[in-house]
Amino acid sequence: MNGYLSLFGTVSVPILLACFLGYVYQKYKSPDSKVLADISLFVLSPCLIVSAVSGSDLNNSAFAHIALFTVLQTILCWVASIGVGRLFRFDIPSSRAMELTTIFANSNNYGLPLLLLAFGNAGFAIGVTNVVLHIVLVNTLGLYIASRSSFSPKQAAVKMVRNPLIYAAAVGLILYLFQIPLPTSIKDGLSLIGGAYAAIVLLLLGMQLKKTNWRSSMRRELWISIAMRIVGVPALSFLTIQLLGLHGLEASVLFVQSSMPSAINSVVLMEKYGGDKELVSVNVAMTTAASFLYLPVLIYWSGWF
């Protein structure tokens, strides 16, 4: 209990504060939230990607296991969300929104502190590797899925190729693979700019929640997408771990981290490219609130691996 009270104070309170300030700002100023989405996607995120990927200290063996898990679990979640969307006859914007909230978890600013509390430094190190892969995926595959809400597959692919995030990820991977150190001044500059990403995205989430029509959002698509994130994703993560034969701390960390609430990055992508923004925003808010109840259960279950 003390650990989770500490988690609430160190992780949840800052998240809630940023969302609240974004909510109040939207209420009294009515800013253009798409400008913030543009800044997040095209300025802050590329700096974050280059600094995070190039500066990561990854173990090759652990990286291989985590990469396999991430790829397979992502495929399973994507296929499952597409299947559920077709089964319940979601429209295209709602389908894309559910795909984003099902595939991508808040594994960074919420997941890493939780892993540190639950599994210590060893678990935190595994989580950092997963976050690096997650950053690349959410800004490539996530961007493709979001843009398909308003564009054809070909147009979405063109937009993805033209996005600087892909090239930022490529630069980061090249620097990491060839162990090319960045000059200290550039590294510090990228870290400074990229460090603003989480704050801007959380403010954007609060702004979107203010614009949300909560009454109309309480529809079956929302509850199905929440069930996919809270129930479906942990089940698929467990299946992935069994298929790959992972066990011990590595399996426990990956299971818990992939089962985190929906990623706030999804709000930015929906804001930029259109789609069911209300479903994404309310899903992120509600799964984050629910996580204080279901994550302790999943952490307990993870000890069985």
Please report, for residues 90, 105, 233, 251, 255, the alpha-carbon distance to residue 244 in angstroms, rounded to integers and kept in the order given: 32, 20, 16, 10, 13
Q: Token digits for 161?
A: 């190729």
What pLDDT, on a 0 to 100 scale, did the predictor assign at position 95? 92
pTM exceeds cut of 0.85: no
Show Cβ contacts of residue 54 under 8 Å, excluding neighbours closer than 6 positions.
Answer: 171, 172, 175, 176, 180, 182
| Domains of the chain, first to last | 2-302 (1.20.1530.20)
Q: Which of 150, 130, 138 is nearest to 67 (CA)?
A: 130
Q: How far is CA 200 from CA 10, 15, 219, in A?
A: 18, 11, 28
- φ, ψ at 262 (rounded to 5°): -60, 145
pLDDT of residue 109: 64
Contacts of 28 (CB under 8 A, 6+ apart): none
From first to last of its 305 residues, the chain has per-residue pLDDT tens of: 565 566 566 656 777 788 889 889 998 887 877 788 778 777 887 887 777 767 666 556 677 888 899 999 999 999 999 999 999 999 988 999 999 999 999 887 677 767 777 787 777 778 877 877 777 787 778 878 877 766 666 665 666 666 666 677 677 777 777 778 888 898 889 889 888 877 887 788 788 778 777 776 788 999 999 999 999 999 999 999 999 999 989 999 999 999 998 987 787 788 777 778 889 888 988 898 788 788 888 888 888 88
Distance in angstroms (rounded) separating the CA atoms of residues 71 and 79: 12
